[in-house]
Amino acid sequence: MPKITYVSHDGRAATVEVPVGENVMHGALYNGVEGIAGECGGAPSCATCHCYIDEAWAATVGGPANDVEKELLEAAACEVKPTSRLSCQITVTDDLDGLIVHLPETQF
């Protein structure tokens, strides 16, 4: 099972196993990782699962946000960066084993 590391805004890291086919948001929620709210459950209709993909992983994850993500990220509570993504829109694959995502200071 791929391991994903979630790094909070203050540098604390939590590495958890996430099943292939699940999304990065659920990986955090199901494992009690703080920093992702996921209020819409992954619809996508909010930006409370905003994260920053570690630059070393940006190409593997699939590059910049799509148009739906970009529109929703306009309402994000924290700064939107080139590596900003909605974690509900990133499906876990074996290729993402070792993925590092950084979490914003707040989702609200």
91: pLDDT confidence band, cut at 50, 70 and 90? very high
User: In this structure, is residue 68 part of a structural domain?
Assistant: yes
Rounded to whole angstroms, the Cα distance separating 106 from 23 reads 20
Residues 44-54: tens digit of each pLDDT = 999 999 999 99
Distances, alpha carbon 43 to alpha carbons 54, 65, 96, 100, 107, in Å = 24, 15, 22, 23, 16
User: In this structure, is residue 10 part of a structural domain?
Assistant: yes
Of 58, 64, 38, which Cα lies nearest the Cα of 102?
Answer: 58
Structural domain for 34, as ranges = 3-102
User: In this structure, is residue 7 part of a structural domain?
Assistant: yes
Rounded to whole angstroms, the Cα distance separating 22 from 92 reads 6
User: In this structure, is residue 107 part of a structural domain?
Assistant: no
pTM given for the model: 0.95
Rounded to whole angstroms, the Cα distance separating 54 from 56 reads 5
User: In this structure, is residue 30 part of a structural domain?
Assistant: yes
Total number of domains in the chain: 1
